[in-house]
């Protein structure tokens, strides 16, 4: 019975990731009227979700809600992996995405340990990774 639960939860996780990848690819695709998507449109699709989850983490930090912090950071990690797969064009861009993933993973660890200061520091590191990544996106 326990093996079935583990197998079912693993299958559910894999299915969830597949659905998320499909949804992200669908959202990032150009409309039929456009030949090529605008870079700012691509960024806005990714950024709307990442900003939403970042706000969830920040809200959790401000209120001391460790579950909200952990949940938001885990969602950021999943979405970041999808973005790495879909948009990881250059090694320097991928490196920034990896830095973001490392910081969001640390947020999850610190939230699980109920360490507000550690989670706040990791959130600051994640924010730094965001800024560096966007500097690269703005470069021609």
CA dist 79 and 132 (Å) reads 18
The total domain count for the chain is 1
Whether residue 6 is contained in a domain is answered as: no
Q: Is residue 123 part of a domain?
A: yes
Question: Would residue 51 count as lying in a domain?
Answer: yes
Indicate if the pLDDT at residue 138 is higher than 70. yes
Q: What is the pLDDT of residues 25-76, one digit of tens each?
A: 555 555 444 444 455 555 567 778 888 999 999 999 999 999 999 999 999 9
Q: Is residue 25 part of a domain?
A: no
What angle do helix axes 116-138 and 91-112 make, rounded to 10 degrees? 160
Please tell me whether the overall predicted TM-score, pTM, comes out greater than 0.75 for this model: no
Range of the domain at 106: 40-138
Domain membership of residue 125 (yes or no) is: yes
Q: Is residue 23 part of a domain?
A: no
Q: Are 79 and 87 in contact (CB under 8 A)?
A: no
Residue 18 within a domain: no
Residue 17 pLDDT > 90:
no
Which structure tokens are listed for 117? 């200061």
**Average pLDDT estimate for 128-135:** 86
Residue 65 lies in a domain: yes
Task: Return the CATH number at 110.
Answer: 1.20.120.10
């Amino acid at each position: 019975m326990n093996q079935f639960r583990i197998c079912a939860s693993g299958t559910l996780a894999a299915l969830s990731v597949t659905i998320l990848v499909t949804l992200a690819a669908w959202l990032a695709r150009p409309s039929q009227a456009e030949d090529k998507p605008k870079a700012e449109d691509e960024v806005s699709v990714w950024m709307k979700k990442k900003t939403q989850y970042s706000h969830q983490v920040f809200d959790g930090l401000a209120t001391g809600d460790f579950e909200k912090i952990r949940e938001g950071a885990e969602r950021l990690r999943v979405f970041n992996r999808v973005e790495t797969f879909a948009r990881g064009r250059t090694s320097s861009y991928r490196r920034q995405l990896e830095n973001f993933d490392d910081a969001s993973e640390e947020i999850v660890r610190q939230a699980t340990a109920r360490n507000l200061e550690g989670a706040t520091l990791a959130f600051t590191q994640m924010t730094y990774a965001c800024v560096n990544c966007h500097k690269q996106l703005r470069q021609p």
